[in-house]
Chain A
Amino acid sequence: MSLAVIKAMIKRTYGAHPFMMLSIMKPFLFVLILPVLKGLLQYLISGRITGVLTLEIFAAAAVLFFSFLSFKAFSVSIDGEKMVIRKGFFFKTVAVIKKEKLSCVSWGRSVFDLLFGSVTYRVNTEAGAEGKTDFSFKLKLKDAKEMSFFLYGEENRTAVRFNVLRSAVFAAATSSAITGLIVGVPIINNLGRLLGVALSQTIFDEINQASSRFDKYFPPIVNVVTFVLIAGYFLSFLISFVKMLGFRLRIGVDKTEVEYGIIARYRTIFKKQAVNDVCIEQTPLMRLFKMFSMRAAVGGYGDKKGEKAIIVPAARHYQIKNQFKAYFPFLYPDSRPIKAERSKRNLARFLWQAHLYAVLDIGVTVALSVLFPSVLRFLLLAGISVMAVIAYYGNLCFKCFRLGKLCIDDKIFASGFSGLTVRELYCEKSRIGEIIIVQTPADRIYGTCKAEVVVRSESADRIKVRNISYGQTMAAIGKNFNISE
């Protein structure tokens, strides 16, 4: 009897890990559980409890009781080719999903999961709300391993490891100060409240003191903002770096498995056919290291990640393409690419926006400097910073003029940029959701167009290729999508 037949006959049911009770209680954590914990902490420090109501203790107990009932009512079964998820004590729900309809299963282990021996298991299909896991639950580690085996098996997959430096490059390139601040500020506030210490004020005083040392060179407001942004960026980098450490990729015949994280370990398996498109991207920081990252847009993926799976954190362009040549054949289109015409006139058409922004930046900086001479230093610094971003944007436009391409055959390839990130999009023709051809009056004069390729996905990837030949583009579309005008 083959393994596939055995798997089809198997019927197993798994209960949730008791730690799931805590995740059910999570929404009530700050309202009910934390005040009770705070009261206990106060009692241990000062020997008396203030601010904790008896009602809160009873409410916390009731929440705990209902969480227990929900935990007991939860079960997940593997019944041959089907997966059955049952949940709810008062309001029962049953979901029956065919194995073939699963687009991705992933499991992660946070620090608490490691302590309690549990696993956060996530099941995704192509249906369901955008950017949200369809089913998320806690299982015992042993059960999670067994269930993954029944769902996807353990075939002999080639493992590819990425070293610490590459993880660091990826973390540095994808971190942002805003993310760091969004994550860091609530933690600092809540921790300060829990411990009864003005933690945020202490940190702000420290930043103020440190930034005052640079007042001689830069305006005080610039120093404070820079320090806050650097702190945010550092925090974001740290989170991203720790998360990406130990990145391991296993490529099977029709499945891909991604594993990463040191403290919290995440494991994701998705089917090759669930991949809508792959993007090879280069952020401004990655350009310094001449490296690219590769991600796949998978229908129904992971946990609130917008259906994007990082496949390669950082590598050279040719390395990525060579490595995935066999696995994603659409990385190598067959037809000749349609490119923008290499002429001075066309170059000027690519760069006109950057020129306009530069003139506007100079104009606004000069006007504001005349109107508000008291903040001249700040205005000059802001003007120069904006000019640097515009210069980078101009460089991207130039790169797009040289390397912007569109291939339309059974495999689709488009390269351009989105924001400040250089992007190449590859997919099969059948995955295309829409192609938009835009012709401005200037395009009509010069016989060019802008082609935007939109991939069908829960969170669609799109890319625009500028100023390419209208005739060639329409001919390629007509030939491959059976359109004759």
Chain B
Amino acid sequence: MEFKFGRKTLFLWQLRVGAAFAALTLFFALLAAYSIYLYIPAALAVLLGVILIFCYLPAFFSRYKVFVGKTSVVVTRGVFVVKSHIMPFKRLVFAGGYSTPLARLFRLEGITLRAARATVIMPEIECDAARRLIFELGGDKSDD
């Protein structure tokens, strides 16, 4: 069973990052009343925000994969440096979910996997898929 991240997750994260960079840009733009040079960090924040929203995030989510095998779960992520976490079910202590008001608005839920001394936090996926995955990982399989 393979889980991928849909457009809704991407849009949620684009909103979050967009809001954060908009706030940062506004902060520097307001401070620019004291020194005109503060327009430089404001412009840099706009540029970085645009790169993150339109280049990095789509690439990040298109490469993010969660694969649930017969005896282990594989989480692959990363744009420049790609990391694959292979966690055998036997060593998985529990799987949990988390959500924020904004994520709930989109009916999305994030997932946390906890093995002994290792934690993998995954971004939000559709609520139903998240429930299924949590049940799959935290339920029968971890008792195997």
Residues of A within 8 A of B (CB): 429-430, 432-441, 444, 454, 456-460, 477, 481-485
Establish whether residues A433 and B118, one from each chain, have CB atoms under 8 Å apart when the complex forms. yes
State A460–B80 Cα separation when bound (angstroms).
27
- Which residue in A430, A438, A454, A458 is a CB contact (below 8 Å) of B81? A438
**Is residue B82 within 8 Å, beta carbon to beta carbon, of the partner chain?**
yes
Establish whether residues A457 and B82, one from each chain, have CB atoms under 8 Å apart when the complex forms. no
Contact A439 B117, CB 8 Å, known A432-B91, A484-B69:
no
Establish whether residues A483 and B116, one from each chain, have CB atoms under 8 Å apart when the complex forms. no
Chain B contacts for A454, CB-based, 8 A: 117-118
- Which residue in B69, B74, B81 is a CB contact (below 8 Å) of A440? B81
Whole-angstrom distance between the Cβ of B21 and the nearest chain A Cβ:
26
Whole-angstrom distance between the Cβ of B37 and the nearest chain A Cβ:
29
Contact A460 B117, CB 8 Å, known A436-B83, A438-B82, A439-B81:
yes
Contact A437 B116, CB 8 Å, known A482-B69, A482-B71:
no
Establish whether residues A477 and B83, one from each chain, have CB atoms under 8 Å apart when the complex forms. no
Chain B contacts for A456, CB-based, 8 A: 91, 115-117
Establish whether residues B117 and A477, one from each chain, have CB atoms under 8 Å apart when the complex forms. no
> What residue in chain A is nearest B90 (Cβ atoms)?
A430
Establish whether residues A434 and B91, one from each chain, have CB atoms under 8 Å apart when the complex forms. yes
**Is residue B72 within 8 Å, beta carbon to beta carbon, of the partner chain?**
yes
Residues of B within 8 A of A (CB): 67, 69-72, 74, 78, 80-88, 90-91, 115-118
Establish whether residues A438 and B118, one from each chain, have CB atoms under 8 Å apart when the complex forms. no
Whole-angstrom distance between the Cβ of B116 and the nearest chain A Cβ:
4
Chain B contacts for A460, CB-based, 8 A: 116-118
Chain A contacts for B74, CB-based, 8 A: 483
Chain A contacts for B115, CB-based, 8 A: 433-434, 456
State A477–B78 Cα separation when bound (angstroms).
20
Establish whether residues A444 and B82, one from each chain, have CB atoms under 8 Å apart when the complex forms. yes
State A56–B69 Cα separation when bound (angstroms).
66
Contact A477 B86, CB 8 Å, known A460-B116, A482-B70:
yes
State A384–B111 Cα separation when bound (angstroms).
50
- Which residue in B70, B78, B82, B118 is a CB contact (below 8 Å) of A434? B118
Establish whether residues B91 and A481, one from each chain, have CB atoms under 8 Å apart when the complex forms. no
Establish whether residues A481 and B90, one from each chain, have CB atoms under 8 Å apart when the complex forms. no
Contact A481 B71, CB 8 Å, known A435-B86, A439-B82, A444-B82:
yes
21 A-B contact pairs sorted by A residue (CB < 8 Å) = A429-B88, A430-B88, A432-B88, A433-B87, A433-B115, A433-B116, A434-B85, A434-B118, A435-B85, A436-B85, A439-B78, A439-B81, A439-B83, A441-B80, A441-B81, A454-B117, A456-B91, A481-B69, A482-B69, A483-B69, A484-B69
Interface centre among B74, B78, B116 (most CB of A within 10 A): B116
Interface centre among B74, B82, B86, B87 (most CB of A within 10 A): B86
Contact A485 B67, CB 8 Å, known A433-B117, A434-B91:
yes
Additional A-B contacts beyond A456-B116, A457-B116, A483-B86 (6; CB < 8 A):
A433-B88, A436-B86, A457-B117, A483-B67, A483-B72, A483-B74
Chain B contacts for A440, CB-based, 8 A: 80-81
State A481–B84 Cα separation when bound (angstroms).
14
State A436–B82 Cα separation when bound (angstroms).
10
Chain A contacts for B83, CB-based, 8 A: 436-439
> What residue in chain B is nearest A477 (Cβ atoms)?
B86
Chain A contacts for B87, CB-based, 8 A: 433-434
- Which residue in B78, B86, B116 is a CB contact (below 8 Å) of A481? B86
Chain B contacts for A441, CB-based, 8 A: 80-81
State A434–B75 Cα separation when bound (angstroms).
11
- Which residue in B71, B86, B118 is a CB contact (below 8 Å) of A437? B86
Chain A contacts for B117, CB-based, 8 A: 433, 454, 456-460
State A454–B87 Cα separation when bound (angstroms).
10
Chain B contacts for A437, CB-based, 8 A: 83-84, 86
Whole-angstrom distance between the Cβ of A242 and the nearest chain B Cβ:
33
Establish whether residues A481 and B82, one from each chain, have CB atoms under 8 Å apart when the complex forms. no
